Amino acid sequence: MKSPAKTRDRIPRLSNKEALVLELLLITPSSEKYGLELVGESNAQLSRGTIYVTLNRMEDKGYVESRLETPPRPTSGLPRRLYRPTGFGQRVYELWQMARELGRLQTADLGGAS
């Protein structure tokens, strides 16, 4: 079991897939989306089989939050789970974008120097 200090000092990590999910969710932060909607908007970068595993992991990390849709759809069946980004997720995504830009600048500088 991890100690609280280690947990507190842990740097948030964001994989490319998670960043893509956050990007799609942050297009309209106030609205909620379900997994299949994210898959459809990702231009085949996300797959049906893995989207909910990714979302589950992101929810554990605190990047997104979810709820079951209410009221249920007119057709019968299980209710869908809707996801939206948290404030923490939004900040992590913004920092991730800044870090990526810095990386690009560094690559460009190194390329120019050589």
Partner 1 sequence: VNKKVRKDSSDSTVGNTRNDVPAKPVTQAELRELLDKYSPEYVSEILQNRYAPAKAERRVLPGNAIGEEDLSEILATFSCSYVSRVLRASDSAANPQDSIPERAVIREEDLTDLLNRYTPKYVSQILRQRLSQNGANSFFFMGKAHAEAYSEISSPPEFQPSSAKIIVRPPGSLLSRAAEFLFSRKTLTRIVNPIISDLQAEYFEALGAKRPAKAVWVRLRGYWGLFKAVGLHSILKMVVEIWREL
Residue 70 lies near partner 1 (rule: CB under 8 A)? no
Q: Of these, 28, 31, 36, 95, which contacts partner 1 (CB under 8 A)?
A: 36
Backbone φ and ψ of 22, nearest 5°: -65, -40
Residue 79 lies near partner 1 (rule: CB under 8 A)? yes
Position 20: which residue type? L
Residue 102 lies near partner 1 (rule: CB under 8 A)? no
Total residues at the site for partner 1 (CB under 8 A)?
22
DSSP string, the chain: ---HHHHHHPPP---HHHHHHHHHHHTSTTS-EEHHHHHHHTTTSS-HHHHHHHHHHHHHHTSEEEEE-SSPPSS-SPPPEEEEE-HHHHHHHHHHHHHHHHHHHHHHHHHHH-
Q: Of these, 15, 50, 106, 107, which contacts partner 1 (CB under 8 A)?
A: 50
Please identify, using beta-carbon distances, which residue of 83 and 93 lies nearer to partner 1. 83
Residue 43 lies near partner 1 (rule: CB under 8 A)? no
Stretch that binds partner 1, among 18-26, 44-52, 84-92, 102-110 (CB under 8 A): 44-52
- Which residues of this protein are in contact with partner 1, per CB under 8 A? 34-36, 47-50, 52-53, 55-56, 59, 66, 73-81
